[in-house]
Chains A and B, each alone.
Chain A
């Protein structure tokens, strides 16, 4: 099997902007991905949701770019574009035909340098309304929509930077002011707090020259404040349970556990464990709860990796009509518990690794994913070269490593159980 290798260069401009370039001429396309080391973990109480609201404001124009023009120009260049905000980062990316690279660099530099020139109360109010509708669409008006917010709130204590959701609260969104936007921009949107990854059909010398030309005049911010205290006990200390009634037809049981941080080898083993537990129809939970016992409509298990204090291991089972919740919970937890006692079989592990190999090969075949991973590894671990070690680390996971991390994580005193019940009190009966 091919072990993917991504040759790249890694350098810094005098103003601190880190530039990572990976040349690949297979397709006439280029991906630009800029990571800022700021996420919802940098928000302070009363200002939740701000990093994400700010991400929206970044598309509202800058000194030489009009409102909504950033996206219009990229699309008219034949490009695709988006931005995302998460606990540990905010990133902005575009993929374009390779002859349009200079446009993307100019656009990113203009907003990194001069966003505040175009900032207005109208633009802020408009995007506040958009973000509130995003919250309604993605969380408030959705069955089970509050689960992720509750997961974070229970697994990270009050005051921990991961305690609140990235989307924030309606009250805090309402309170965000122009002064908040300006201060946030001046604090975090500085070249020395960013990594620019450029991957694809490019001439590296040309990329360097353009980057210096467009970003070189943007001053660093020498005083970026550190994030709050990320320390966290490795386990919850006692089981936490909450029951929620919602407009849902079928009950669903969510599980959550504190888990090791990203970069910790134990998290690699836990990710492989999740593949064995619920990665498709051959997995343990699917076989037991969905196929054999036929008590669950679906089962899921996954890891949300974070760098500070602890990650999250989570999953759920949707309970079939007429089946007792206790039975589903017990069966799910039994399968987690079995991982803590018996080593997985060699065949299970080999199958999981084969699937992970294919997945990695597929992901790394796209310039957009390569740019994202290079920027991620530079931002979170100060080491873009980790891109070449990810697959090897999964392949190095042993049955004992899985058993050990399962024993650390899947403990009763480290467990959140979040149960959603239909609001009408009884489960509807499906026909047939």
Chain B
């Protein structure tokens, strides 16, 4: 076999083809409901999302999970359809119709070939405006959610995430629990509570319908006219409430705190390190994005390079902020083989210090900025992500030119900005370190390392108090 010859010189990029985020237009229906349309030629599969600014952060802590379960229950029955008839009608259109609730909004979405947009929107409107929450199906969904929470306890990844937020947030914060609630709150969710949770956000003045795709194919009437006929007659529910105010997101951690949840026999330790982070609407969000990419977002981020590519401790390490209306968590995340738990934790903490103490290198800065700027057109190839990004503007009250100016703001971030934001936003000295792993094999070494006081939480204790 002859020797291979390859070209040693790395090619330089050509001229990028200009790209702009799809133009979008705003309209307001007679009842105040807003409509955003983004025309994307050549994309016959349309995505439409109705956004209600009513999320899990608006659930009272005692009924945490109400809006999440309510969204799920929408498709279990409406005035015109029972659950089976509704799903069959949806499937006949070849449409995917889904409702769910995040922290800041509930969303009813449909993806459908544009030729069948109108009947699909009719189903979406029926779901949003006329759910009946049948008691049998609500009981079943509640039971399924409770079973799912049982399953989550056995899944190290889900268990550590749940334990982490339960450790850092004050109990009165909605962020103290998963957005779907915990067993104690889910058990209280009945038809009245789900209905109330849904109705509190049902006010056309606080709702937005977003459509993207080749909407020109929707037929004679345009998308806005279709929306007017289907949604324009809605009025606010008597149960609509003034929600959307500040979210309690205080921390209960003021010094390094270690909690190890014992899972005997675990071959890996799931580790979360972090604290209460920042809301989505802050100054310097671009610098935060660049810093997050360098610390734990990119493949060649500091955490992944150290813990995976240098040490081989893990399949992958990452870190980042979870920006919400209130201050969502900052966390570094990694699963490592049990034997290296303590050295991995030490390395991870050292990286949290280092990003604050030294400026990032020019190569790191350029790599992160160029990724975030360059990947922008890739993110918006199809209508779904375009609708998602426009939804972010709606939910967080961002300016309409947020996406148009995004790349410029990223390009302007300096090494000084990155270090400043790391110093201001990352606090290793008051981080919670929450782990799920085999305590018998970790605890002694962890205590010797003297990172902070170690609390070991064993299952028997929680089982005993629960039964």
Count A-B pairs with CB separation below 8 Å: 261
The answer to the question of A366 belonging to the interface, with a C-beta cut-off of 8 Å to chain B, is yes
- B337 lies within 8 A of A132 (CB): yes
List, in ascending order, chain A residues with CB within 8 A of B17's CB.
28, 97-99, 201
- The one of B83, B366, B376 in contact with A291, judged by C-beta atoms closer than 8 angstroms, is B83
List, in ascending order, chain A residues with CB within 8 A of B8's CB.
63-64
The answer to the question of B119 belonging to the interface, with a C-beta cut-off of 8 Å to chain A, is no
- B11 lies within 8 A of A76 (CB): no
The answer to the question of A294 belonging to the interface, with a C-beta cut-off of 8 Å to chain B, is yes
Residues 131-151 of A at the B interface (beta carbon under 8 Å): 131-134, 136-138, 140-143
The docked-state distance in angstroms from the alpha carbon of A201 to that of B142 is 48
List, in ascending order, chain B residues with CB within 8 A of A248's CB.
151, 154
List, in ascending order, chain A residues with CB within 8 A of B149's CB.
430
The docked-state distance in angstroms from the alpha carbon of A96 to that of B381 is 12
Q: Using an 8 Å CB-CB cutoff, how does the interface string of A334-353 with B read, 1 for contact, 0 for none? A: 00000000000001001110
- B147 lies within 8 A of A143 (CB): no
Min CB gap A215→B, angstroms: 8
The answer to the question of A109 belonging to the interface, with a C-beta cut-off of 8 Å to chain B, is yes
- B155 lies within 8 A of A142 (CB): yes
The answer to the question of B118 belonging to the interface, with a C-beta cut-off of 8 Å to chain A, is no
The answer to the question of A327 belonging to the interface, with a C-beta cut-off of 8 Å to chain B, is no
Q: Given the interface contacts A109-B7, A114-B4, A250-B150, does A68 sit within 8 Å of B45 by beta carbon?
A: no
- A72 lies within 8 A of B300 (CB): yes
Min CB gap A291→B, angstroms: 7
- A99 lies within 8 A of B267 (CB): no
The docked-state distance in angstroms from the alpha carbon of A292 to that of B193 is 24
- The one of A27, A75, A250, A347 in contact with B299, judged by C-beta atoms closer than 8 angstroms, is A75
Min CB gap B3→A, angstroms: 8
Closest residue of chain A to B5 (Cβ to Cβ) is A217
Residues 39-81 of A at the B interface (beta carbon under 8 Å): 63-64, 67-68, 71-73, 75-81
- Name the segment of B52-60, B84-92, B196-204, B416-424 touching the other chain: B84-92
The docked-state distance in angstroms from the alpha carbon of A102 to that of B143 is 54
Closest residue of chain A to B88 (Cβ to Cβ) is A282
- A136 lies within 8 A of B268 (CB): yes
- B16 lies within 8 A of A358 (CB): no
The docked-state distance in angstroms from the alpha carbon of A280 to that of B44 is 23
Q: Using an 8 Å CB-CB cutoff, how does the interface string of A270-306 with B read, 1 for contact, 0 for none? A: 0000000000111000010011001001100000000
Closest residue of chain A to B369 (Cβ to Cβ) is A76
Most B CB atoms within 10 A — which of A72, A126, A137, A213?
A: A137
- The one of B95, B265, B308 in contact with A358, judged by C-beta atoms closer than 8 angstroms, is B95
The answer to the question of B315 belonging to the interface, with a C-beta cut-off of 8 Å to chain A, is yes
List, in ascending order, chain A residues with CB within 8 A of B143's CB.
294, 320, 430, 432
List, in ascending order, chain A residues with CB within 8 A of B266's CB.
141
- The one of B183, B300, B310, B335 in contact with A137, judged by C-beta atoms closer than 8 angstroms, is B335
Min CB gap B380→A, angstroms: 8
Min CB gap B301→A, angstroms: 10
- A432 lies within 8 A of B142 (CB): yes
- A219 lies within 8 A of B1 (CB): yes
Min CB gap B166→A, angstroms: 18
- A432 lies within 8 A of B146 (CB): yes
Q: Using an 8 Å CB-CB cutoff, how does the interface string of B118-137 with A read, 1 for contact, 0 for none? A: 00000000000000000001
Closest residue of chain A to B379 (Cβ to Cβ) is A80
Closest 6 CB pairs of A and B: A78-B374, A129-B312, A217-B5, A354-B94, A113-B4, A351-B91
Q: A99-B17, A106-B10 are in contact. List 12 more A-B contacts (CB 8 A).
A: A27-B19, A28-B17, A64-B8, A78-B370, A78-B373, A97-B16, A130-B315, A141-B268, A143-B151, A351-B91, A358-B94, A361-B113
